[in-house]
Structure 1
Amino acid sequence: MSKIYAIRNDGFGYQSLDLTLLDIARYAPEDIDPDAVMDFSRTNSRLAEWWQTPDTRFVCNEGVNDKGIPDISAWIGASLVLSPKAHRYLSDTLKSYGELLPVTVGNDTFFIFNCTQLGEEDLSMSEYETQGEIPIQLLNLAFRNSAQTLPVFKSRYESCLTVFCNERFMHAVEDFNLTGVVFDENLVPQY
C-alpha cells in the first residue's frame, strides 16, 4: 500500500514568493465573485481564464540563513510555486490535476500550481475536535485507497489548505533533486 504525504515547506530558510491574494485580485474581472479569488483553493476556483502574468520577486525570511530560491514551495491554500526547473520536470504530471499559472520573477517564468483535484477522505478515520457542533481543530486525516492513485490532490475535510501527494510524486521530486519542500507522513500539521 502506497503512503500519502503532506507537501510542506522545508523550514523558513528558503525565500518566499512575494505575491498576495490582493495582488492577484486586482486582475480579476468585475463579474468574478471576490470569494472565488480570495478563497480560491477552498472554493476550488479556476483562475486561468482571467489570469494575467504578474511581475513579482522572492524575499528572504527575516532572521534565518538564506538558502535562496526553492525549486518548489507551498504557497497559499493548496497551491505550489514551481521554479522553471521544477516546471520542466513536473508540469506533464501536474497539468491534469490543476492549473499552472505563470508569474514573472526577473527574467524567469515561475508557475503557481493551483491544485483542483480533490482526494476522497476516509471519514471513519478523520476527526475534528469540536466544541458543540463547531469544528475547532483537525485531529486526524485519512484518505481512501483511491487517493493513492493521484499524484497530487487536496482535501475539503482539511479546508483545502495543503497539497497532498502519493509516493510516486514524492520520489519524482527527490529523483530530480528539487529543493524547498519536505514530505510529511503526518497529514495534520503539528504546531
Structure 2
Amino acid sequence: MTIHRIVRDDRYLIFDIPHLEVLEKLGRAYPIHIKRSPVKYSEVWKEPLRLDFGPEEETIYEEIPDLSVYDGRMFFSVKAFQALGDELRQDGEFLPVTYAGGSGYLFNPLTIAENFGARDDRLTVLNEFDEAQSIGFIENKLPVGTMIFRSTISAYYDVFCTDELRLAVERAGLTGVIFHPDLADISGGATTDH
C-alpha cells in the first residue's frame, strides 16, 4: 500500500480564498483562509464563497484545473466532484464555491492520521528544528475506505492520500494535481516535469 502527498501541478492556475470574502460570509470566528486546523465549516457555510484563480511563475496553462490543493484544502471542479465526491464524503466536507466563469467545491479534509494512531513513528523523523525529515503512515490504521487525510506532523498543511485516490483521479482523467512520494517535502516541492 502506498501513501502519497498531493501537490498542485503549478502549470495550472491556483486558487486563493479572498480575505474579505471570508469575513463577509463566515465572519471572524471562521478564518478558513488562514486557519488549517480540522474544523467543520458546513454549519456556517450558508452561501458559496468566491475563489480567485491566478497564475504562478511556472504556470503554462491559463486554465482552471479539475483539482488543486492549497493550505490543507482542495478545490474540486464539478467534473472532479461528480467523479470522486461520493467516495470522499467520509474523509471531510465539500463546501460550495464559485469563481469567475464557474462553480465547484472546496474540500476540507477532516480525517487526521494521528486520531487513529496511523502515523508511523518508526518512519517519521524530525530534525533539530522539529521539521519533518521523513514521514510514514500505517494505512490499515486509517478508517476503512479512507482516501484523503491530513496530519498534525505537517500542521495540517499537507494533504495525503491512498493509492486508491490516485488511481481514481487517473481513471477519471482529472487535471491539476501530482501524487508525490516524498511525504515530508524534503525535495523542495517541485510540482512539474519542466
How has the CA–CA distance of structure 1 residues 155 and 111 changed in structure 2, closer, same or farther, with 3 Å as cutoff? same
1:127 to partner: Cα distance: 1.4
TM-score, length basis structure 1: 0.84
Does 2:100 match 1:106?
Answer: yes
Distance 1:115 1:148 in 2: 14
Per the alignment, residue 161 of structure 1 pairs with 157
Is the Cα–Cα contact under 8 Å of residues 154 and 163 in structure 1 kept in the other structure? yes
1:4 to partner: Cα distance: 0.5
3-state SS of paired residue (1:89): helix
CA deviation map 1:91-124 (0-9, x unaligned): 1011111110111123522100000001220112
**Aligned-residue CA RMSD (Å):** 2.1
How has the CA–CA distance of structure 1 residues 74 and 56 changed in structure 2, closer, same or farther, with 3 Å as cutoff? closer
1:18 to partner: Cα distance: 3.5
How has the CA–CA distance of structure 1 residues 23 and 168 changed in structure 2, closer, same or farther, with 3 Å as cutoff? same
1:67 to partner: Cα distance: 4.6
Structure 2: gaps spanning 5 or more residues: 189-194
Q: Where does 1:71-82 land on structure 2 (aligned, <5 Å)?
A: 71-76=66-71, 78-82=72-76
Aligned positions, number: 180
What residue identity is the alignment partner of 2:2?
K
3-state SS of paired residue (2:183): coil
Structure 1: gaps spanning 5 or more residues: none
Per the alignment, residue 27 of structure 1 pairs with 25
Distance 1:20 1:130 in 2: 35
Q: Where does 1:107-146 land on structure 2 (aligned, <5 Å)?
A: 107-119=101-113, 120-131=118-129, 135=130, 137-144=131-138, 145-146=140-141
3-state SS of paired residue (1:111): strand
What residue identity is the alignment partner of 1:141?
I
